[in-house]
Structure 1
């Protein structure tokens, strides 16, 4: 990374730090872009070269967990192995040293959304980005066809949505993961039992 890129990355981090401090202090909806820019010693117009909106500052780390899921997919050689691998990945998120940072970043983002309900639509956009990213990774890895990849991506994102909907203590995380994956299996079984000729 060249000097210019390093300076830009540092300024981006500074903008995020300033904004997060203001959000915590005043509440997300009470903070203006102009105020963030002033505190970061830049013009509002310059701030928009780093972030498209105030929401984007809050969601600056939104794809961190997605990167972890994509990496998991890239390690698979068969779609049959993916669901058990994803189960294990989700279960060990809080304890595996390679994923604890993904967990902390995502939890912090979810806590901010809970405190600021006006961000709920932006959260829906984030999950849509996850779905598209997972589907693309499945297709790139040649694990399945496009339609199956779409359905599987939707299921995987649904699991993540449920797991991060509220902040669970570490001792309840594994129990919830088990219940969520059991529920998805039960739904699949029920669907298989439906008489499609009716």
Structure 2
């Protein structure tokens, strides 16, 4: 990374730090872009070269967990292995050194969303991006066809949405993940037993 890129990355992080402090102090809806820019020592117009909106500042690290999931997919050689691998991946998020940072970032983001209901639609947009990117990764890895990739990506995101819908302490994380995956299997079994001719 060149000097210019490093300076830009540092300024971006400064904007995030300033904004997050202001959000904590005053509440997300009470903070203006102009206020963030002023404290970061830049013009509002300059701030928009780093972030398109105030929402984007709050969601600045929204894809950090997505990167880990894409890496998991790239390691798979068979679609049959993916669901168990994803189960293990999700279960080990708090204990795996490689994913602890991602988990903490996502927990902080979701806690902020819970405190600021106006960010709900932005959260849905984030999960939609996750689903699209996971589907693309499955197809790129040639693990399955487009339709199966779409269904599987949706199931994976559903697990994450449930896990991050509330704050789950590390002590209860593994048990919660196990319950969700068991419930998913039970629903699939119940669906298979339904007489579709009725």
TM-score over 0.5 for the pair: yes
| Matching residue of 2:84 | 84
CA deviations 1:102-151 (Å, max 9, x no partner) are: 11010010111011111011000000000001000000000000011000
Aligned residues: 198
In the alignment, the residues of structure 1 paired with residue 89 and residue 137 of structure 2 have an alpha-carbon distance, to the nearest angstrom, of 16
CA deviations 1:76-114 (Å, max 9, x no partner) are: 000000000000000000011111111101001011101
Which residues in structure 2 correspond to 1:103-122 (within 5 Å)? 103-122=103-122
Q: Which structure 2 residue ranges, 5 or more long, are not aligned? A: none
Q: CA deviation at 1:170?
A: 1.1
In the alignment, the residues of structure 2 paired with residue 192 and residue 144 of structure 1 have an alpha-carbon distance, to the nearest angstrom, of 21
In the alignment, does 2:32 pair up with 1:32?
Answer: yes
Local SS of the residue matching 1:94: coil
Q: CA deviation at 1:196?
A: 3.0
Q: CA deviation at 1:192?
A: 1.4
Q: CA deviation at 1:173?
A: 0.7
| Matching residue of 2:101 | 101
In the alignment, the residues of structure 2 paired with residue 50 and residue 189 of structure 1 have an alpha-carbon distance, to the nearest angstrom, of 48
Which residues in structure 2 correspond to 1:8-47 (within 5 Å)? 8-47=8-47
In the alignment, does 2:140 pair up with 1:140?
Answer: yes
Q: Which structure 1 residue ranges, 5 or more long, are not aligned? A: none
Could you say what the CA RMSD is over the residues aligned between the two structures, in angstroms?
0.7
In the alignment, does 2:169 pair up with 1:169?
Answer: yes
| Matching residue of 1:62 | 62
| Matching residue of 1:126 | 126
